Every structure is written in C-alpha cells, then in structure tokens.
Amino acid sequence: MISLFGKSAELQLEKDVSTRYLPVVIAAMIFLAALAIGGLFSLHNAIGNWSETLTGNLTVEIAYDPAADLDKKVAEAVKLLSETPGVTSARAIGKEETHALLAPFLGKNAALDELPVPRLIEVIIEEGNAVDLRALNEKLAGAVPGASLDIHRPWLNKMVTLGHSVQLLAAAIMLLIGVVTVIIVIFAVRTGLVMHAEVIQVLHLIGAHDKYIAEQFQNYFSRLSFLGALPGLVVAVIVMFIFNFLVGSLESSMLPPLTLEPAGIVALLLLPFLIALLTRFTVRLVVMRSLARMM
C-alpha cells in the first residue's frame, strides 16, 4: 500500500532530473495565485465598506466664499436639512475633520488653511425613506447660495463597477495559473513515462496493474506540488505584510491594504492541498491514458 506522499519504490522517480525544477515552478504559480486571492478578497471587502458607508449617506457642499459668513450658511443649511422629512440627522463637518479627509490626497503637511476649502455637511437619510433629492437640492440652493447636494451614487456605482472588473480579472488570472500548472505537470509526467518506459514494461510483465503504476506517479508529483506550494505561499504572505507596512507608512495613500476575512485565510491555507489534488488528478488521467496506449 503506497501512502499519499510515499516514495515510488520501483520507478524511483525521485532520481529524475527532468522534475527537479517542478517545485520551483509550482511555487511561482502558488505565489501569483495567493496574491490574486488576497487582492480578490481585499477588493470584495473594500466594495462592501464603500457601499455600507455611502448608502443613505449624503454630503452637502457649501462653496468657499471669502466675502460670505460661511458659519452662518452652514447653520442655515443644517437647520433646513434637519427639518426635512426623511432626514435622520445633519451634521456640520469641522475644519479639522475636513483636513483629515483631504490629507490622503494632499498630504498631512499641506497648507490646507490657505486653500479655498468648501464647508461640508454630512446628511443621513432614514432607511427606507424615499427623499426627493432633486427637489431638496433646489430648495437648499435657493435658501443657501453656493450649497449643493452630493449623493455619492454615481461615484459609488463607478467604483463598484471597477471593483467587479478587477475581481473578474483576478479570477481570470487564477484560472490561467491553474491551466498553466496543469500543462506543466502534463509535460513533466509524459517525460517521466518516456524515461521509465522499460521499467514500466517489466512491471507489466510481472503482473503490476496500471493503477499501481499510476499511483506511484500520483504520489511523487503530488508530493512535489505540495512541497513547492508551501514556500510559494509563505513568500506571498510575507509580500502581503510588506505591502501593508509600506501602505501604512505612506503619508498620503489611496491604496487599500490587503485585508483578508476568515474565508480568504482559509482559501490561502487550502492552496497547497488544492494544487496537490489538482496535480494528483491530472497525473492519474495522463498516466492511465498513456499506459492504455502502451499495452
């Protein structure tokens, strides 16, 4: 009985020079797949956060006017919005908070006090309440000159569309990695079959079944794939930590960190086992078909 990762006693596939670099190739494939998975789950989390943050959240912008009393305009706009049916709350955003919002774009050390920064008001709409935003915008502009309502929806829709497009691209990359891995394994297995054709013929003569021979190839190549996948996964995780560190150390950055929810962590941990199973299935299919033609 040959164990899952047991050695191939009769064929001695461990001595094949042709498969020496297969673990390196598998490690590179797993490295790319792990990064794709990290980006996929991180982007999914980012899209969820954007939707949760901006759904039912509006912003009123009061244009900068050095000749006007902006504090008075803000107070009038907050009062009007608070009295509007369907509006849960209206809160004026202070200068320090506005500067904090602009810091990722302009930098923390930018002279924001010298810039014509508009005043902002955060508006929360009651959940399930259909407010006529166009009428509210016209009413607000008439009562407070220079005030305009930003509903975020067009921007959010574009970001969500972009996020889904990138997710599809990441999924396509993972599919391509799987196809390339299968092709590499097929060539390696066929090379091994050619190199050990004489030994296989002898095993057939003494009564060895095709399944027994295929199992030796399966175990050997599964072991190579698994052992190659481990360092690839470790390097990918290290790169993710380095990326998050660099993003966090930047003074101004719009790049989201690579964050994984439990499902993403499980997907990463399963990669070595999945690649080993994929290799095992591919090897069995190739070997059984090749041995059937050799008989």
The domain locations on the chain are 13-51+156-294, 64-145
Q: What's the pLDDT band for 261 if we cut at 50, 70, 90? A: confident
Share of the chain above pLDDT 70, in %: 79
Nearest alpha-carbon partner for 32 in 177, 164, 172, 175: 177
pLDDT digits (tens, 9 = 90+) for 109-142: 556 666 777 888 888 877 766 677 778 888 888 8
pLDDT at 90: 84
Share of the chain above pLDDT 90, in %: 15
The sign of the torsion formed by the CA atoms of 68, 70, 76, 80 equals positive
- The CA distance from 145 to 99, in Å, is 23
How are strands ordered across the β-sheet holding 57-62? Answer: 87-93, 119-125, 57-62, 147-150
pLDDT at 3: 47
Give mean pLDDT, residues 7-20.
65
- The CA distance from 55 to 188, in Å, is 53
Residues 89, 95, 100, CA angle at the centre, nearest 5°?
95
Query: pTM of the prediction?
Result: 0.67
Whether residue 39 contacts residue 166, with contact meaning beta carbons closer than 8 Å, is answered with yes
Nearest alpha-carbon partner for 59 in 79, 86, 84, 77: 77
Q: Is the pLDDT of residue 267 over 70?
A: yes
- Residue identified by tokens 């050799």 is 294
Q: Between the CA of residue 213 and those of 115, 189, 284, what are the distances in Å?
A: 76, 12, 10
How many CA atoms lie less than 13 Å away from 24 in the CB half-sphere?
4
